[in-house]
Amino acid sequence: MKDSNAIQSDLSISPEEYACILRSDLTSFIEASFYELYPGKRLDLAPHIEVVATKLEAVRRGEIKRLIINLPPRHLKSHCVSVAFVAWMLGHEPAKHVICASYGQNLADELANACQRVMQSSFYRALFGDVLGGRQAVSDFETVLGGRRLATSVGGVLTGRGADIIILDDPHKADEALSEASRNATHTWFENTLLSRLNDKAQGAIVIVMQRLHLEDLVGQVLKEGDWDVLRLPAIAEGEECHLIEGPLGRRFFRRGRGDALHPERESAESLAAVKRSVSILSFASQYQQNPTSLEQIKALEAELDRRSSEAYQAGDWVTFGRLWHCRGTGTPEDETSDEQAMAAYERYRVLAAQIDSEY
């Protein structure tokens, strides 16, 4: 368990220096606010959090006006964006108006309550003073300079309300995202209601943070129509990645090679492989890899694997057959399947085929 004093002690710096870091570096503030809210839990400050913070700081400076952040489940996206970033930004600019929307009012209020608790804490008030003032309803609270944080659900009424920054945090409920009617309702509300709430259409910012759920989810829709800065961080890297991190120590880069887990200390490649085996190809591609595909594409890929494996079987090429059968069953890319895995897959196939033959 850590608090801000323990973190400062770990860094061997004075309280004044630590306060300066918390005011100027969003990543450090994310860590301190996490321990303020969850004192009994441990936070492994992974590089992807620093990458997210770098993008959010660019939003506050006005350098990014449209930002999409796609992260797998349980990788701290809501705490970073809807809680810590909003509190930190209002500490710097208490006159800002923020609208935060989620798929349901309960989730929106939960995130608003966490943000408010951070801003009420002694560590926050030591950094920024007493920022909260006036109206203090959880779903709609004010600052001493008239700034606001409004929490609403997708589909909520926003008549008369404006914002300098709009944040959509999980605009789709996962079990409803496959419904075309549900997706269309979210798209319509975003286009007809939410977009009109920006106080300054040119300078106002919109941040969408979510796990991908469908080809035609809100991210898929907005990318057809506008220019967005997209931070896509799959659970398992699909190729070489290089992401900028900016902080008190200057600029550096978070690099990943193909097959690298996003946060191996928390979710290793082995544990992700187990998840991959336990969920559908559609779910893993969307929610974990942030790369949704259609059922038609999956069927076409499976048909191609079936055709090639049949040809390999007829030719007696058991390594190729096993490799393709392994891919078909696990979703593992063909070029990531070793000869040993291929032959093991072929042996599993022979046992299964013999069992089927004996039953008929």
pLDDT in tens, 140-199: 999 999 999 999 999 998 988 999 999 999 999 988 888 889 999 999 999 999 999 999
Q: What is the mean pLDDT of residues 285-305?
A: 76
Q: Are 150 and 98 in contact (CB under 8 A)?
A: yes
Higher pLDDT, 181 or 334: 181
Q: Residue 172 contacts by C-beta under 8 Å, 6 or more apart in sequence?
A: 103, 154, 182, 183, 186, 210, 213, 214, 217, 218
Return d(Cα 148, Cα 87) in angstroms, integer: 11
Say if residue 115 is in the same domain as residue 221: yes
Q: What is the mean pLDDT of residues 257-282?
A: 86
Instruction: Tell whether 110 is covered by a domain.
Output: yes
Number of domains in the chain: 2
CA distances from 9 to 49, 83, 251 (A): 22, 25, 25
Q: Are 298 and 223 in contact (CB under 8 A)?
A: no
Q: Any idea what the CATH number is for the domain that residue 78 is in?
A: 3.40.50.300
Total residues belonging to the chain: 360
**Domain final residue, candidates 232, 256, 280:** 256
Instruction: Tell whether 121 is covered by a domain.
Output: yes
Q: Are 262 and 50 in contact (CB under 8 A)?
A: no
Say if residue 131 is in the same domain as residue 73: yes
Q: Which long-range contacts (CB under 8 A, 24 or more apart) does 239-245 make?
A: 243/47, 243/48, 243/51, 244/51, 244/54, 245/47, 245/50, 245/51, 245/54
Per-residue pLDDT band for 11 (boundaries 50, 70, 90) equals low
Instruction: Tell whether 6 is covered by a domain.
Output: no
Say if residue 231 is in the same domain as residue 323: no
Say if residue 144 is in the same domain as residue 239: yes
Q: What is the mean pLDDT of residues 229-253?
A: 93
Say if residue 137 is in the same domain as residue 249: yes
Percent over 70 (pLDDT), the chain: 92
Dump the DSSP string for 270-289: HHHHHHHHHS-HHHIIIIIT
Domain membership of residue 156 as a residue range = 44-256
Name beta bridge partners: 254: 243
Say if residue 311 is in the same domain as residue 224: no
**Domain final residue, candidates 196, 225, 256:** 256
Say if residue 139 is in the same domain as residue 195: yes
The DSSP output letter for 243 is: E
Say if residue 102 is in the same domain as residue 177: yes
The encoded tokens of residue 296 equal 């038609």
0.75 surpassed by pTM: yes
Per-residue pLDDT band for 357 (boundaries 50, 70, 90) equals low
